[in-house]
Structure 1
């Protein structure tokens, strides 16, 4: 796992590979997670991709059989091979797991604190 560097972003993305699923109603799409941040995630576009783009999604990242991160997300950008989502809601347990993942992959603790402050605001 490495940290993606892009100075335009307010939240550092970390490259992370874990079994991930997008859900919308009864529909499910297993996806390849490319990276994530405290504010969202980037995945490979699944085939077929027949989602209702006017509705939100649930993203579930399985860290192990008993630990997962769940987020309510909105599709923010769609490319030929990638989908970018922004987090609309995350529960406290999931946020704790996500915070720990990012913390382990961000070398600068000052940067981590800045991101947390921005998330709260």
Structure 2
């Protein structure tokens, strides 16, 4: 069950604490990942957050042995000291590392594979 009322998540999420850089234009914020799915990411909120909400972001997640994941996203919400991003694009170089990372942290591997299939259909 979600900690945030009204959330309607369609993809399996994994709570993972990893470093993430949020890039927009010439700005970079160094944050922490809260959770991740194939379609969304939550991070903690920077103390100074002066981003352009309607412009895209690039999120670079330090995924340890899986390398750096680069995901392109738009900000969906800011609440309870966290940022919620909708992933707009996962390029082919990032799909397998994302799958491997998530597979270690989700409880339902069948649901994860269904999520990956949905992602493949979006490309």
TM-score, normalised to structure 1, is 0.86
Number of residue equivalences: 117
Unaligned runs of 5+ in 1: none
Residue of structure 2 in register with 1:91 after alignment? 91
Kindly state the Cα deviation for residue 66 of structure 1 after the two structures are TM-superposed. 8.0
Distance 1:9 1:50, change over 3 A: same
Distance 1:68 1:10, change over 3 A: same
C-alpha root-mean-square deviation of aligned residues, in Å? 2.0
Alignment of 1:36-55 (within 5 A): 36-55=36-55
TM-score, normalised to structure 2, is 0.84
Distance 1:64 1:116 in 2: 21
Residue of structure 1 in register with 2:75 after alignment? 75
Kindly state the Cα deviation for residue 47 of structure 1 after the two structures are TM-superposed. 1.4
